[in-house]
């Protein structure tokens, strides 16, 4: 993740980082894989790419919702 992320003039970078950590922990637990493997899998997903865009409010969704989106994307591919 590069740079800072802002929404309505507020820096939400730390919020997004915590959300990513929560998502990756969920993926690692579900798949019984190391955190690093889950992290790199998530980083290569479209779900992550969309999450980084602050204009769409995807970052405001729950980590559980985003994990579900990640698996929907994965099953579609």
C-alpha 74 chain-centroid distance: 14
If phi > 0 it is left, if psi is from -120 to 50 it is alpha, else beta; for residue 57 that is left
pLDDT in tens, 24-54: 999 999 999 999 999 999 999 999 999 988 8
Q: Does residue 3 have a pLDDT over 90?
A: no
In this prediction, residue 1 carries a pLDDT of 52
Range list of β-strands (E), the chain: 6-7, 10-11
Cα separation, 40 vs 25, in Å, equals: 12
Domain ranges for the chain: 6-76
State which H helix or E strand residue 25 sits in.
helix 13-31
């Amino acid at each position: 993740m590069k740079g800072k992320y802002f929404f309505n003039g507020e820096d939400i970078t730390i919020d997004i980082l915590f959300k990513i950590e929560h998502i990756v922990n969920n993926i690692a637990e579900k798949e019984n894989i190391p955190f690093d493997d889950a992290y790199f899998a998530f980083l290569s997903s479209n779900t992550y790419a969309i999450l980084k865009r602050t204009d769409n409010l995807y970052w405001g969704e729950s980590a559980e919702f985003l994990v579900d989106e990640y698996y929907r994307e994965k099953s579609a591919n």
